[in-house]
Amino acid sequence: MELFSVRGKHAVVTGGSRGIGLMIARGLVDNGAKVVISSRKADACAAAAEELGCDAVPADLSTREGTDTLAGAVRERFDGRVDLLVNNAGATWGAPLEEFPDSGWDRVVHTNVEGIFRLTVALIGELRAAATPEDPARVINIGSIDGLRAPVMENYSYSASKAAVHMLTRHLAKRLAGEHVTVNAIAPGPFESKMTAFMLESPGGREQVAQNVPLGRIGTPEDVVGTTMFLASRAGAYLTGTVIPLDGGITGCG
């Protein structure tokens, strides 16, 4: 079990009040990590942190002010050392091609791409402080299979932003490898989240989504927590610059 242990590690999970972020935060807390979660809505962030037994720092990561607020609070709580940064906070927008608004690009790109870049840079000193050759500091970016293949939905800015997240992951990994900071991405398929609720909660929607997954089901908390634990622990210490499709075979068997 020591191979997959995250006990005592200092972890930050953005977008940690719901969906995949909440799943990851709960898995880390349950396995002994010290966790700070962040999300844009203060009430939801505080409620999730109370449920999990961790710290909460509300912040809008689509803005530099929000990024600086979170980074400053993390430094204080973790005494200048961050072992794991999970960049999960994200936004989406759907609209027909010829009606897609500028606002549908601005918030999505500011949050999904710029937010990851700014927060990683803001905490790079803390990641370096935690890093060793045997046990690197870790950055895990949450991408999407919509950034790996052309999606069905008209979510142009979201899918483009997630493809950018995957390339940013590789770019940061190359830059930081020599400093013993690994950077990897998880590209989830269908999981329970606010973004997928309209599909999964519609009549017959869950069954229809599951039918399009080669393994015949949507993802569970154990699926994303297991992948996170691998990347965050000694088990995944020799992996950097990868994008892992966590999608039940949609991209690999499609």
- Encoding tokens for residue 40? 């844009």
CA separation for the pair 210, 217 (Å, rounded): 4
Q: Is the CA virtual torsion 195, 232, 148, 251 positive or negative? A: negative
Q: Which of 6, 158, 182, 195 is catalytic?
A: 158
Please enumerate in sequence order all residues whose Cβ is within 8 A of that of 80, keeping only pairs 6 or more positions apart, or say none: 125, 126, 129
CA separation for the pair 183, 138 (Å, rounded): 6
- Give, rounded to a whole angstrom, the gap between the first and last alpha carbons of the chain: 34
- Encoding tokens for residue 114? 């710029």
Among 92, 114, 61, smallest CA distance to 193 is for 92
Bridge partner residues of 139 (DSSP): 85, 183
Bridge partner residues of 246 (DSSP): 188
- Encoding tokens for residue 228? 């996170």
Region for 136 from its dihedrals, namely left if φ exceeds 0, alpha if ψ lies in -120 to 50, beta otherwise: beta
Q: Is 158 a catalytic residue?
A: yes
Q: Are 39 and 58 in contact (CB under 8 A)?
A: yes
**Which of the residues are catalytic?**
158
